[in-house]
A and B are shown apart, each in its own frame.
Chain A
Amino acid sequence: GAVVSQHPSWVICKSGTSVKIECRSLDFQATTMFWYRQFPKQSLMLMATSNEGSKATYEQGVEKDKFLINHASLTLSTLTVTSAHPEDSSFYICSASRNSNTGELFFGEGSRLTVL
């Protein structure tokens, strides 16, 4: 089946530093990838839609200058949390669609970010 891989799965950083999370579709090309954020005991909230070769589309309330998204190829999207603060600590999950007709998304394992 389709596989989406995220890296790193765990990252701890100091406040003020930047962290990059990679999302790769391993066996299919994904023109669109989605970045979600999951808060404890809450649902997944869509942060942005990443489109290959163009600018990402951010959801309302998501700071585009803080959460930089780059979708440079059909198999790789990156999320960079810039100048991270403790409130950015969360579980970030990427997903990709292989077949838009089915609506199914394939999810990465998620990346747990802890900002000290």
Chain B
Amino acid sequence: GDSVTQMEGPVTLSEEAFLTINCTYTATGYPSLFWYVQYPGEGLQLLLKATKADDKGSNKGFEATYRKETTSFHLEKGSVQVSDSAVYFCALNGGSQGNLIFGKGTKLSVKP
């Protein structure tokens, strides 16, 4: 079945460091890909998405490119801030009724 694999955390970075969180997927067909973020004490929020190959999703300085050839959707940010500390989930829409399949999540801690 469809699945998502993302790098295990936690990831600890200093402010203004470069961030990469790897995400690869296995799917039949051509799913849409998502990154969701969960800030402490809050629900999941959509960070960015890409619906087809070579699309780049971007938001709040984060970006990820849908790479069909490598089945990847790595999340990157050039300069992280303390406020980016959260858990990041990679996901794809693999269910017949539109449910999302999630990776295990990667906790990011950014130190000042």
Contacts and interface: CB of A to CB of B under 8 A. Distances in A.
Interface of A: 4, 6, 32, 34, 41-44, 46, 49, 51, 57, 93, 95, 97, 100, 102-110
22 contacts: A32-B98, A41-B104, A41-B105, A43-B89, A43-B103, A43-B105, A44-B89, A44-B100, A44-B102, A46-B99, A49-B99, A57-B97, A93-B44, A102-B32, A102-B49, A102-B51, A103-B34, A103-B93, A103-B98, A104-B49, A105-B99, A109-B42
A104 B46 contact: yes
A47 to B, nearest CB: 10
Contact of A103 (B32, B44, B105): B32
B43 interface: yes
Chain B interface size, under 10 / 10 to 19 / 20 to 34 / 35 or more: 20 to 34
A37 B40 CA distance: 17
B99 A34 contact: yes
Interface secondary structure of A, over-half rule: strand
A93 B43 contact: yes
A112 B42 CA distance: 11
Contacts of A41: 104-105
A26 to B, nearest CB: 13
B24 to A, nearest CB: 14
A43 B34 contact: no
